[in-house]
Amino acid sequence: MGRIVMKFGGTSVGCLDRIRHVSRLVESEVNSGNEVAVVVSAMSGETNKLISLVDELDSDEFKQGQITGGDINDEYDSIVATGEQVTSGLLAIALRRRGVNARSWLGWQVPFRTDKSHSKARISKIECSEVGISMKQGNVAVVAGFQGISDDRRISTLGRGGSDTSAVALAVALKADRCDIYTDVDGIYTTDPRIAKDARRLNYIAFEEMLELASLGAKVLQTRSVELAMNNNLPIRVLTSMVESGIPNPGTLVCNEDKNMEERVVSGVAYSRDEAQITLLNLADKPGMVAKVCSTMANANISVDMIVQGISRSDNAANLTFTIGKRDLNAALKALKSSKESIGFNDIKFDENVTKVSVVGIGMRSHTGVAQTMFEALAERGINIAVIATSEIKISVLIDAEYTELAVRALHSAFKLHEKRANPQT
Ligand code: ADP
Ligand code: ASP
Ligand code: MG
């Protein structure tokens, strides 16, 4: 008997039959004597539909040259948060019809307090005492994920995939014994199983590795959710909702590093297609130039990821290439063009058809040769590398998007990730 948080993603609540199925999984936890809070995403595809309504309206206005009135992210949040309102209500009904006491909670009702960075808000505090009392009285709390209430008392959302973060944050706030993230795959794999058919499910993965994989594009968990779990030392179990209740399903435990895990040099391959590459041509090669570019981006609230500089000694000029999120490309180009004089460059080039592919592993700290294996595997397939970035436990390369699948599979097999190790932890 304990207190648990169960989170169900978009596919798991994608239609009424799936919602009925989820209600059975929740009921079986209630029948085992647990107090249960459930965090739900919108039905799969719903958030995309809502976002495309916003984008279509906005681009029509843009084409007609009527762009006035500034930022729209507060209204974007009011719109995209509605998907989770529907599923929380539907699951509460499905539970009641099974005889399980349940009520839905929207983000502002809990409340999940967030900052004002609409569309990518961060949770500042969860005041969940009322939810806790309701759970103690025997009600399942069905909480709409992804949403909160901002400092300015508007609906806010936590960025794509944000229900994972809602679930982990709620589990921490409720002092839950477990946080189970149910999805459409049965755990964390060595790479996206949709791309490499021989990807292998891991029994365990260290917080740090999962954090890198998530931030480098493995959408199975939102980065912020892993960060929160790591900071609060709350293990997360990732498992599939596509099983009948009562059938044991170990999934993957995301937890603190274990000494056995160090035996893996590379644990996984991740990719992100959400990248755009910008090159500034003919910058003056003098101190402070990169700082100016970065501050222009920071003032536009855009994070710069990979950076590479090429200098021609003969004419004292440099080219600077960097990557940003694809969604920020228009805003970045606008900001750079208006700072052209003060930064001092001749021309801008950009490319949206790029993918970042990365290998991750805590074993890289103590093993050499990973870069060599990675670059050779890509070279053998004729894949050109545009930008490289490394950290203690990852190497990332930017490549032409056309080669994404080929590169992921090549790296997965170069590091023999499909092979089961003798070590039971792997
Ligand atoms: P949910 O709707 O349940 O939140 P997501 O679509 O956000 O589910 O995340 C699950 C998907 O993440 C899987 O279907 C899989 O294609 C993808 N994925 C990417 N990398 C990995 C990985 N290393 N292990 C497992 N799944 C991964
Ligand atoms: N529905 C939101 C999204 O699609 C949040 C989530 O699924 O976690 O991004
Ligand atoms: Mg998700």
Ligand minimally distant from the alpha carbon of residue 222: 3
Please name the residue whose Cα sits nearest to atom 6 of ligand 1.
Answer: 220
Please name the residue whose Cα sits nearest to atom 8 of ligand 2.
Answer: 161
CA neighbours closer than 13 Å in the CB half-sphere of residue 216: 29
151-200 pLDDT tens trace = 999 999 999 999 999 999 999 999 999 999 999 999 999 999 999 999 99
109-122 pLDDT tens trace = 999 999 999 999 99
- In this prediction, residue 233 has a pLDDT band, given cuts at 50, 70 and 90, of very high
pLDDT for 192 equals: 98
Mutate to test the pocket of ligand 1, among 219, 272, 356 (most ligand atoms within 8 A of CB): 219
pLDDT for 125 equals: 97
Q: What is the rounded average pLDDT of the residues 63-86?
A: 84
Percent residues over pLDDT 70 in the chain: 93
Do residues 183 and 106 lie in contact, with contact meaning Cβ atoms separated by under 8 Å? no
325-375 pLDDT tens trace = 998 898 899 999 999 999 999 999 999 999 999 999 988 988 889 999 999
Question: Is residue 26 scored above 80 in pLDDT?
Answer: yes
Q: How far, in Å, from the CA of 87 to the mean position of ligand 3?
A: 15
Q: What is the pTM of this model?
A: 0.92
The residues pairing with 318 across neighbouring beta strands, listed in sequence order, are: 283, 311
Q: Which atom of ligand 2 is nearest to the CA of 163?
A: 8
As given in the structure block, the two tokens for residue 160 are: 């794509």
Do residues 183 and 232 lie in contact, with contact meaning Cβ atoms separated by under 8 Å? no
Question: Is residue 149 scored above 60 in pLDDT?
Answer: yes
pLDDT for 423 equals: 46
Look up residue 327 and give its DSSP letter.
G
pLDDT for 272 equals: 97
Q: Which residues line ligand 1 (CB under 6 A)?
A: 9-12, 41, 161, 183-185, 188-189, 191-194, 218-220, 268
- In this prediction, residue 422 has a pLDDT band, given cuts at 50, 70 and 90, of very low
Question: Is residue 249 scored above 90 in pLDDT?
Answer: no
362-414 pLDDT tens trace = 889 888 899 999 999 999 999 999 999 999 999 999 999 999 999 999 999 99
- Evaluate: CB of 145 within 6 angstroms of ligand 2: yes
pLDDT for 285 equals: 81
**Nearest partner of 408 among 221, 271, 212, 205, judged by Cα:** 271
pLDDT for 86 equals: 98
Q: How far, in Å, from the CA of 181 to the mean position of ligand 1?
A: 11
As given in the structure block, the two tokens for residue 130 are: 């009322």
Q: What is the rounded average pLDDT of the residues 260-281?
A: 87
Q: What is the rounded average pLDDT of the residues 96-120?
A: 97
Ligand minimally distant from the alpha carbon of residue 40: 2
Second-level CATH architecture of 3-184: 3-Layer(aba) Sandwich (3.40)
- Evaluate: CB of 181 within 6 angstroms of ligand 2: no
Please name the residue whose Cα sits nearest to atom 15 of ligand 1.
Answer: 192
Q: Is 387 helix (H, G, I), strand (E, B) or coil?
A: strand
CATH class of 268-414: alpha beta
Length of the chain: 426
Question: Is residue 252 scored above 70 in pLDDT?
Answer: yes
pLDDT for 121 equals: 96
Task: Spell out the domain ranges in the chain.
Answer: 3-184, 268-414
Q: Which atom of ligand 2 is nearest to the CA of 164?
A: 8
Mutate to test the pocket of ligand 1, among 87, 220, 240 (most ligand atoms within 8 A of CB): 220
Q: What is the rounded average pLDDT of the residues 118-129?
A: 96
Q: How far, in Å, from the CA of 220 to the mean position of ligand 1?
A: 3
HEC sequence for the chain: CCEEEEEECCHHHCCHHHHHHHHHHHHHHHHCCCEEEEEECCCCCHHHHHHHHHHHHHHHHHHCCCCCCCCCHHHHHHHHCHHHHHHHHHHHHHHHHCCCCEEEECCCCCCEEECCCCCCCCEEEECCHHHHHHHHCCCEEEEECCEEEECCCCEEECCCCCHHHHHHHHHHHCCCCEEEEEECCCCCECCCCCCCCCCCECCEEEHHHHHHHHHCCCCCCCHHHHHHHHHCCCCEEEEECCCCCCCCCCCEEEECCCHHHHHCCCCEEEEEEEEEEEEEEEEECCCCHHHHHHHHHHHCCCCCCCEEEEEECCCCEEEEEEEEEHHHHHHHHHHHHHCHHHHCCCEEEEEEEEEEEEEECHHHHCCCCHHHHHHHHHHHCCCCCCEEEEECCEEEEEEEHHHHHHHHHHHHHHCCCCCCCCCCCC
Q: How far, in Å, from the CA of 222 to the mean position of ligand 3?
A: 7
Q: How far, in Å, from the CA of 244 to the mean position of ligand 1?
A: 20
30-62 pLDDT tens trace = 999 999 999 999 999 999 999 999 999 987 766
- Evaluate: CB of 146 within 6 angstroms of ligand 2: yes
Q: How far, in Å, from the CA of 398 to the mean position of ligand 3?
A: 24
